[in-house]
Amino acid sequence: MREITYAQAISEAIAEEMRLDENVILLGEDVGILGGNFRTTTGLYEEFGEERVLDTPISEAGIVGCALGLAIRGMRPIAEIMFGDFLCLAMDQIVNQVAKIRYMSGGRIRVPLVIRTNIGAGRSSAAQHSQSLHSWFLHTPGIESVMPSSPYEVKGLLKSAIRDDNPVVVFEHKMLYNKKGEVPEKECLIPIGISEVKREGGDVTIVATSSMVGESLELAIQLEKEGISIEVIDLRSLVPMDEETIINSVRKTGRLVLVDEGVTRGGITAEIATMVMEKAFDCLNAPIERVGNENTPIPFSPVLERYVIPNREKIEKAVRKAIK
């Protein structure tokens, strides 16, 4: 199977959906002539023109508000927010408008809107360009959210998001944009709300998100040499969440390690841990372990940045503690 980068998979997914449906349009800062700040929209402006690939002013609230209006009028807009940190500037539009309109209209008004943005540290971009704020949207009914971990996942989930009649936030990891992976040339759709067991094991379950999936898989291969069998689940979708796959795995292994690059306090790992405690407490043979960002802003210093964010060594420490 061919290999393409995560960024290429994004561009390919958008192009395919734009060819299929003339109502699909793209808008955001530098998505047109430049091809995106991270080159995720390369070639789209040349193929579809300025009426369907819109370079907007620097106003996140304006981007989301415009996209919302387009969605209400029957279009399928894809709004790009250059850095996930900048979602803060559009929170009223997202939380009080995008998430609520279908409910407040009694289901009569659809909002088929995709918001693409990114998360993650690793580039020494400091505290205002390195956050992972995806867990905020767990607390907002009316919005779906996904976190693709590979080129295959980002293409399949993004295409499904574009076809969804509900608003979907797609959280890409900026450190994955240049990562290559296998992506089929034929139609590639991944249903929203379905996790995937990336590797089967019997001693401990790791549920990971985004770039932490790859780190967890590498660790599983490493620890297999010591006779430690790790089951790795790629969460893929935060809302709706595939609780069944997680519960079934915990019932099999009896141990659970949760890995996510968001701040641990109040994050997705806390939500999953609570869900497992409520539905499968009797299956646990050890306390649930969580690995995530320290409760501090992301430092600019590369040394301090590496200290704050999760990595393979921290995941290994949690796994060994769980099976001790």
Q: Which residues, other chains included, contact 227 with Cβ-Cβ below 8 Å and sequence gap of 6+?
A: none
**Angle, vertex CA 16, rays to CA 11 and CA 17, nearest 5:** 100
Give the distance, in angstroms, between the CA of residue 76 and the centroid of all CA atoms in the same chain.
20
Q: Are 207 and 259 in contact (CB under 8 A)?
A: yes
Question: Is 129 an active-site residue?
Answer: yes
**Cα 53 from chain centroid?**
23
Crossing angle for the helix pair 268-280 and 243-253, to the nearest 10 degrees:
60
CA distance 238 to 220: 23
Q: Are 203 and 230 in contact (CB under 8 A)?
A: yes
3-state helix, strand, coil in the chain (%, to 5): 40, 20, 40
The helix-helix angle for 211-224 and 312-323 (nearest 10°) equals 50
Question: Which residue out of 129, 134, 139, 173 is catalytically annotated?
Answer: 129
Residue 174 has φ and ψ, to the nearest 5°, of -65, -20
By annotation, the residues acting in catalysis are 129
